[in-house]
Amino acid sequence: MLGGIRLEVRRDFPFAARHASRSAPPRGVAQGPNIGPSGGFANAGDGGMAERLVMLGAGGHGRALIELLRDLGTYDLAGLVDAAPKGPAMLGVPVLGDEAVLPGLRAGGVGLACIAIGDPAARLAAAARLAALGFRFPVLVHPAAVRAGSAEVAEGTVVLPRAVLGAAARIGRFCIVNTGAILEHDVVLEEGAHCGPGSVLPGGVRVGARALVGAGAACRPYVTIGAGAVVGVGAAVTEDVAPGAVVAGVPARPLPG
Ligand SMILES: CC(=O)SCCNC(=O)CCNC(=O)[C@H](O)C(C)(C)COP(=O)(O)OP(=O)(O)OC[C@H]1O[C@@H](n2cnc3c(N)ncnc32)[C@H](O)[C@@H]1OP(=O)(O)O
């Protein structure tokens, strides 16, 4: 248990990420997309059936996750679900409709889902709706991320390229560890937290549920960022941040208003 949330360590998923720099093949060679009629792109190289997965959200974060899935090459992406898509497909993956299509997908054998929604409250609410329909949520760690063997990662969390999860880090459900973020030893993210691209969380930093650490922000070791707080782009967090606060600057101070 992590602050009341349940951690599910999915050691059954392929964490080539642990030794990514040694194991990741060149992009597009062994792990490149194999785009079928559905727009899916699982490798069938091991002879097994790739599990089918649907993605909720066809925006910018969705584009990042499509690339992550292509680089992983592990899942068969059935398509995207979005109530207000910009077009019939995104990066070659079809938009299947809004959430009304989900029960049919589930009945048709799509058992996995990932939630590509940046807003943390909306992401967690969507996860609850999909869980009620019987979907499960894989941990998605990019092959070019580095995950310590002792780092725990809970369901639905995504870890983008070049991110680092240090020793004994504990990452809750439906978090986003964005491109190049460094989460050092003993860092804790509670559910729905987001560490933006290039953010640096040294040892022992704790990030509360649904909080955002903005791109390029850095923290002093062992500070706590409260639930729902926002740390601005490039901030230096030198002391604890209150729940719900919006802080920015060097050193970080609450923004007025
Ligand atoms: C792959 C991805 O894209 S992941 C995306 C991750 N997202 C992020 O990193 C975004 C984080 N968000 C920010 O940094 C935002 O600027 C926030 C939340 C700090 C503030 O946003 P808003 O509340 O909309 O504030 P707004 O833009 O109106 O700015 C208010 C004031 O704060 C200043 N300000 C805003 N952000 C910052 C910052 N990061 N550092 C210093 N000052 C800032 C503005 O210049 C403005 O100052 P002024 O009143 O003197 O003109």
Q: Whose Cα sits closest to atom 9 in ligand 1?
A: 214
Q: Whose Cα sits closest to atom 14 in ligand 1?
A: 232
Mean pLDDT of the chain: 86
Predicted TM-score (pTM) of the model is 0.86
pLDDT of 257 reads 66
Taking the CA of residue 213 as reference, the ligand 1 atom at the shortest distance is 9
pLDDT of 250 reads 98
C-alpha 249 to ligand 1 mean position (Å): 9
pLDDT of 49 reads 81
Does residue 204 contact residue 189 with C-beta atoms inside 8 Å?
A: no
CA distance 57 to 44: 26
Q: Whose Cα sits closest to atom 17 in ligand 1?
A: 232
C-alpha 232 to ligand 1 mean position (Å): 5
Is ipTM > 0.95 here? yes
pLDDT of 110 reads 98
* Pocket flag, ligand 1, residue 50 (CB < 6 Å): no
Q: Whose Cα sits closest to atom 19 in ligand 1?
A: 232
* Pocket flag, ligand 1, residue 254 (CB < 6 Å): no
pLDDT of 166 reads 98
> Known catalytic residues?
185
pLDDT of 108 reads 97
Percentage of the chain beyond pLDDT 90 is 80
C-alpha 226 to ligand 1 mean position (Å): 18
* Pocket flag, ligand 1, residue 216 (CB < 6 Å): no
C-alpha 29 to ligand 1 mean position (Å): 40
Q: Give me the residues of the chain with pLDDT under 50, please.
A: 1-39, 43-45
C-alpha 237 to ligand 1 mean position (Å): 15
Taking the CA of residue 179 as reference, the ligand 1 atom at the shortest distance is 1
CA distance 106 to 103: 5
